[in-house]
Amino acid sequence: MKQIDILIIDDEKKFAVMLAKRIELRGCTSRVCYDGRSALQWIKENRDPLDLILLDLQLPDLYGTKVLTEIKKIDPSIPVVILTGHGTEQDRKECEKLGAYMFMHKPPQIDEIITIIKQIKEQGAN
Amino acid sequence: MLKRIQGFMKSIWPEFHNHKQNVHLDSFYTFTDYWYLWTMSIFILAVTALSPLCIQTFIHHQLIQKSANTEAILSAERLTSNAKRSIAFFMKERMDALIFTVNEMGYTKLTDNDKLAEILKNLKLGFGGLSDLSVIDEDGSMVSYAGQFKLEGKNYKCQPWFLHSLKKKYFISEVFTGYRDVPHIIIAVKSIKPDKSIFILRATLDTERLMKTLNSYKTNDYTDIFLINHNGALQTPSTNYGDVFKQTNLEISTYPTNTKVNMKSFQGIPVILGHSFISTDMVETPFILMVQKKKSGRMKTWVELYRKINWAMGISIVLIIIVISFASTFMINKLYHLEMAKAETMMQMEQSQQLASIGQLAAGVAHEINNPLAVINQTAGYLKDLYSFKDEPRNDVEIVDNIDSILDAVDRCGTITQQLLGFVRQFDIKIKKIRLQKIVSDVLSFHKKEAEYRGINVTVSIPDTIPDMETDSGKLQQILVNLINNAFQAVDEGCCLDIIGSQIDTKTIQLVIEDTGCGIPEENLKKIHEPFFSTKHDRMGTGLGLSITYGLVKKLGGNISVQSTEGVGTCFTITLPIKIQEGKLA
């Protein structure tokens, strides 16, 4: 069975790296991008479809919702979980409208992320 | 009856007298001196309304005074002129009779005492008022006499009346005593004997008869009618001035042909004094008729009218003052209520502005803290992972425990930042149709175990008749969670928690959450809605629960109030609209 492939897009490098490492410890593969453009570039170039994207809203180059729109244009099937420290109610509504899988606030509990991953895995299996 | 009086007093006595100081509201009042406003309003209205009334009454009084005076003068004038005519006629009649006797009888017959006595008898029968008759010669000696006095042989040549009689054809004397020593008046007619010498026929007038005639005009005690001579000496007795011959100080200025009436003061009492010189067409008399009337005698009717006008004015003043007081109190009460409502609204606005600005600041802080928190969280988590996930787990219990403490602390920080963000988030609402009973039982279900364990008696009484509400269920749930959490924290074992729902009117429901816990000290009651105010330092309270609840209730268009007695319990009362009106939400 294919390993779960996760992309973390977050400009807080230490956070992204640590989260990636912890996810990997739990048996998934993960990649980290620190800005929106490089993340979109990577998604376009990557042949294997991703299983989950964790996306921050406050990115240095593009705003999270813009990145989300672009991701959905490239592959609408990838579930995107918004993980933000700044999210307002308006952001939440907009992200839901754009097709985000979930809207989470920082700091995230690793168990919550694992639960979501499991849910996606089950859905994928079905 | 007592209630009516109280009700009346309440509508006259404005409510600001019972104003209770409230330090939170005082700064929002525009009008503070209600006492001044109220009294000025009554004063200005009263002056405006009463001035015309007073002026009118004053004019009325003046008119009455004037009418009373005119009427009194006219009546005195009538009386004087009637009495004068009567007296003049009295004199003239007797003078005419004497002239007739002289001309008819002639000197010879008149000198006959028997004849003279007969003439006197006839005159007495025909006219009355004559006491004797005598014929006097040019030299003053009495020729004949008829009458009751012994006057035969008397000589009158030195008597003033005789000297006057010689000068004039007809003469009427003043009242004098003369030889007989009794006050009398003399009427004399000068005639010529057959030998061309002069003789005088003299008649003596009885003053009694004159006084009777005068007294017949004296209709009441206020009126005094009497005669004086040209020097002011009394000729008939007067009630006010004394007996005959007494000198009066009455000033009779001119000789009027007609009757003259003046207002005078007699011994400090206002009187109307009328006088008239008595004269006949043949002879002038030395008499002046005086009529003196006390003004008060004429004033009875007018005084009655005065009294009526004064009563009418008094009643009008009382009525006007009552109506003005009613109106002023009504206006001031309205103003006072508006002012109270305004202050309340302004205070609430300020509170919500305060909350909103604190909320914005809090949200900013929360956002900024969330990122470093996430880093701490993940780093500590990774550290923990390193100890738990490696091929050879290093079960260093102390390190893992410490990392758990860090993670716990981060969790707590996370909760606080989430609550702070919730504070901002409360400004958005989602309306759904919900049943109050269900929401309450959902919230209580979280506490079921705790209630059983701590022996807290929870009762819910929400009648089925309460209609479904259309409101934001999430926010209502959060309100209930906050209040019920607080209540659970406040009560000890075996205490009670009552949740009572009721419908106030077609648009509003009320929910009361009452506990018999520790209560809130009075000094804290005012602060409980302020953000970050907490007494639960040891139990990790953020101090945001009630301020969020307060904001949420306001957001749902409701009101929240709290009554609490320390040591007895606390009662939160929430009123909420059954159907939230979106237009009213700011």
* CA A95 – CA A112 distance, rounded (Å): 19
Task: Please say if the pLDDT value at position B424 is more than 70.
Answer: no
CA B351 to chain centre: 45
Test mutation, B373, B376, B378, B387, chain A, max A CBs within 10 A: B378
Report the chain A residue with the minimal C-alpha distance to residue B390. A25
* CA B107 – CA A52 distance, rounded (Å): 173
Quick: pLDDT tens for B514-551.
988 887 877 777 777 666 666 665 445 556 677 778 87
Q: Touching check for B577 and chain A: CB below 8 Å? A: no
* CA B262 – CA B73 distance, rounded (Å): 7
Residues of A in contact with B414 (CB under 8 A): 105, 107
Tell me, what's the pLDDT at B586?
A: 40
| Cβ atoms of A6 and A51 closer than 8 Å | yes
The answer to whether the Cβ–Cβ distance between A107 and B418 falls below 8 Å is no
The answer to whether the Cβ–Cβ distance between A15 and B374 falls below 8 Å is yes
Distance from CA of B476 to the nearest CA of A (A): 18
Distance from CA of B475 to the nearest CA of A (A): 14
Quick: pLDDT tens for B375-421.
888 888 888 888 777 666 666 777 878 888 888 888 878 777 776 66
Q: Which of A53-57, B177-181, B479-483, B516-520 has the highest mean pLDDT?
A: A53-57
The answer to whether the Cβ–Cβ distance between B371 and A15 falls below 8 Å is yes
Task: Please say if the pLDDT value at position B231 is more than 60.
Answer: yes
Test mutation, A8, A12, A14, A18, chain B, max B CBs within 10 A: A18
The answer to whether the Cβ–Cβ distance between A19 and B378 falls below 8 Å is yes
Report the chain B residue with the minimal C-alpha distance to residue A14. B375
**Strands B170-172 and B184-192, bridge-based pairing:** antiparallel
- Residues with Cβ within 8 Å of B342's Cβ and at least 6 positions away in sequence, in order, are B28, B30
- Residues with Cβ within 8 Å of B332's Cβ and at least 6 positions away in sequence, in order, are B14, B16, B34, B37, B38, B41
* CA B286 – CA B266 distance, rounded (Å): 24
Residues of B in contact with A89 (CB under 8 A): 424-425, 427-428
* CA B400 – CA B396 distance, rounded (Å): 6
Tell me, what's the pLDDT at B584?
A: 47
* CA B146 – CA B201 distance, rounded (Å): 11
In this prediction, residue B51 has a pLDDT band, given cuts at 50, 70 and 90, of: very high
ipTM: 0.83
| Cβ atoms of A71 and A78 closer than 8 Å | yes
Report angle CA B374, B377, B381 to the nearest 5 degrees.
Answer: 140
Residues of B in contact with A60 (CB under 8 A): none
- In this predicted model, which residue has the larger pLDDT, B538 or B115? B115
Residue among A44, A84, A38 at smallest CA distance from A62: A38
Nearest to B370 among A14, A106, A110 (CB): A106
Residues of A in contact with B389 (CB under 8 A): 25-26
Task: Please say if the pLDDT value at position B337 is more than 50.
Answer: yes
Tell me, what's the pLDDT at B55?
A: 92
What mean pLDDT is predicted for residues A12-27? Answer: 88
Residues of A in contact with B425 (CB under 8 A): 88-89
Joined tokens for residue B14: 């404005």
Alpha-carbon dihedral B164, B167, B171, B172, rounded to 10 degrees: -20
Distance from CA of A17 to the nearest CA of B (A): 9
| Cβ atoms of B564 and B525 closer than 8 Å | yes
Tell me, what's the pLDDT at B11?
A: 76
| Cβ atoms of A81 and A104 closer than 8 Å | yes
**Strands B130-137 and B142-146, bridge-based pairing:** antiparallel
Nearest to B374 among A21, A89, A108 (CB): A108
* Tokens 């009572």 found at: B500
Helix, strand and coil percent figures for chain A, each rounded to 5? 50, 20, 35
Joined tokens for residue B579: 């159907």
Residue among A12, A7, A5, A49 at smallest CA distance from A29: A5
In this prediction, residue A7 has a pLDDT band, given cuts at 50, 70 and 90, of: very high
Going from the C-alpha of A97 to that of each of A72, A106, B566, the distances in angstroms are 12, 21, 50
Q: Is B507 helix (H, G, I), strand (E, B) or coil?
A: coil
Residue among A57, A123, A117 at smallest CA distance from A90: A57
Provide the number of CB pairs (under 8 Å) joining chain A to chain B: 61
Residues of A in contact with B424 (CB under 8 A): 88-89
Tell me, what's the pLDDT at B356?
A: 65
Test mutation, B365, B368, B375, chain A, max A CBs within 10 A: B375
- Residues with Cβ within 8 Å of B475's Cβ and at least 6 positions away in sequence, in order, are B426, B429, B552, B555, B556
Tell me, what's the pLDDT at B585?
A: 47
Chain A positions touching chain B (beta carbons under 8 Å): 12, 14-15, 18-19, 21-22, 25-26, 85-86, 88-89, 105-110
Residue among B63, B62, B58 at smallest CA distance from B313: B58
Q: Which of A18-27, B340-349, B446-455 has the highest mean pLDDT?
A: A18-27
Distance from CA of B408 to the nearest CA of A (A): 11
The H or E element that residue B458 is part of is: strand B457-461
**Strands B496-503 and B469-471, bridge-based pairing:** unpaired
pTM exceeds 0.90 for this model:
no
Report the chain A residue with the minimal C-alpha distance to residue B425. A89
User: Phi and psi dihedrals of A104, rounded to 5?
Assistant: -120, 150
The answer to whether the Cβ–Cβ distance between A89 and B389 falls below 8 Å is no
CA atoms within 13 A on the CB side of A113: 31
* DSSP bridge partners of B271: B264, B294
| Cβ atoms of B190 and B173 closer than 8 Å | no
Residues of A in contact with B375 (CB under 8 A): 12, 14-15, 18
Q: What is the 3-state secondary structure (H, E, C) of B349-395?
A: HHHHHHHHHHHHHHHHHHHHHHHHHHHHHHHHHHHHHHHHHCCCCCC
What is the percentage of chain B residues whose pLDDT exceeds 70?
89
What mean pLDDT is predicted for residues B467-478? Answer: 82
Residues of A in contact with B374 (CB under 8 A): 12, 15, 85, 106-108
* Tokens 């009700």 found at: B7
- Type of residue at B489: Q
- In this predicted model, which residue has the larger pLDDT, B505 or B8? B505
Task: Please say if the pLDDT value at position B428 is more than 70.
Answer: no
Report the chain B residue with the minimal C-alpha distance to residue A10. B371
- Type of residue at B243: D
Distance from CA of B360 to the nearest CA of A (A): 11
Q: Touching check for B374 and chain A: CB below 8 Å? A: yes
Residues of A in contact with B410 (CB under 8 A): 107
Report angle CA B63, B64, B70 to the nearest 5 degrees.
Answer: 90
Q: What is the 3-state secondary structure (H, E, C) of A6-56?
A: EEEECCCHHHHHHHHHHHHHCCCEEEEECCHHHHHHHHHHCCCCCCEEEEC
Joined tokens for residue B92: 């003239």
Test mutation, B365, B371, B385, chain A, max A CBs within 10 A: B371
Distance from CA of B450 to the nearest CA of A (A): 27
| Cβ atoms of B279 and B257 closer than 8 Å | no
User: Phi and psi dihedrals of B253, rounded to 5?
Assistant: -75, -60
* CA B133 – CA B119 distance, rounded (Å): 9
CB neighbour class for B134 (10 Å; exposed up to 12, middle 13-18, buried from 19): buried
In this prediction, residue B181 has a pLDDT band, given cuts at 50, 70 and 90, of: confident
* CA B145 – CA B110 distance, rounded (Å): 9
DSSP state of A90: H
Distance from CA of B39 to the nearest CA of A (A): 56
CA atoms within 13 A on the CB side of B31: 19
What mean pLDDT is predicted for residues B14-35? Answer: 74
- Residues with Cβ within 8 Å of B123's Cβ and at least 6 positions away in sequence, in order, are B97, B101, B130, B133, B203
Sign of CA dihedral B329, B335, B337, B339: negative
Residues of B in contact with A14 (CB under 8 A): 375, 378-379
